[in-house]
Structure 1
């Protein structure tokens, strides 16, 4: 008995299956399976995770195609063709998958410690008026930060993160708020120089 060759669908193909089913619910899973030359169970599993496949953007797939073609030219590969399932097959062949980079260990206070600190803070602030009690926090854009996930064969150890950033400080009390304060940390790329104070 002949066994059917295993077909690996790309993320965009899975998205197209979900889109076809959404546009035309009368399409049966068997019809979709025949069109894409996969098992009915494969289509069923894809449709179960349709929310995931709808988040895949066309631009992501185009970027991968561009880089694959670029490297093929660099290595003088004449007969290279990027098919829909090529990337999925390549990753499976070489055991590539996404890993989250290990981050530096951070100490977090326990829930009990936070409760005790809150009680102590309430006692400390009792003599003050509400308008004199301010809360402020800063947030920032780490514009040189590398992605936390990488494509690799094995888990990758973390390293010190790039700290170049633009910081924003916001503060408020029960009655009013301060204007937003901005400050810049370390060297800022010239593209962002027009946003300096």
Structure 2
């Protein structure tokens, strides 16, 4: 691995894995969150969706990938990242030595916006609380935000993904790496090198956290 870029901040290595659990009550696992979501009609997206796309993967994952919203294939199958962009994400995950079954994959928005348009503010307001609860239940140690929308929503910024990627940020005490969305890479394959640089940093931090956990458990 190449040397990682300067992070520009320090101290999160010893911070709690997540603090969100203090903010919610009576929601301790993903099943109960999905039940709470129900046949959601909290925003207008319910009128055009086929299926709610909640999330998939390891409910105790140490690494969570978060995208924008379901596309056509995801809307039909009810699972995130199963189309062409999803196949590319699978290859990216495998390239850092993991599998889809080891990580957790979800989106900020759980229903497909018509014609894959950008989600509206009221749709974000309706859906984001469920993402927060998902993260509280999973308690990941690392997050990868895929694309501008996911990164801007999580980090509460208007900065472009090109300015955010390449270094870690912090979301609720959790190191977060923004990178380009796989769908963007399909249209702009020249950016794959940038994503690989981001993934090498992500892999390095993942391995460091795993090693620290193993050392702590051995004591």
Using structure 2 for the length normalisation, give the TM-score. Answer: 0.24
Please identify the structure whose Cα radius of gyration is greater: 1
| Greater helix proportion | 2
- TM-score (normalised: structure 1): 0.26
Using CA pairs below 8 Å that are at least 6 residues apart, which structure has the higher relative contact order? 2
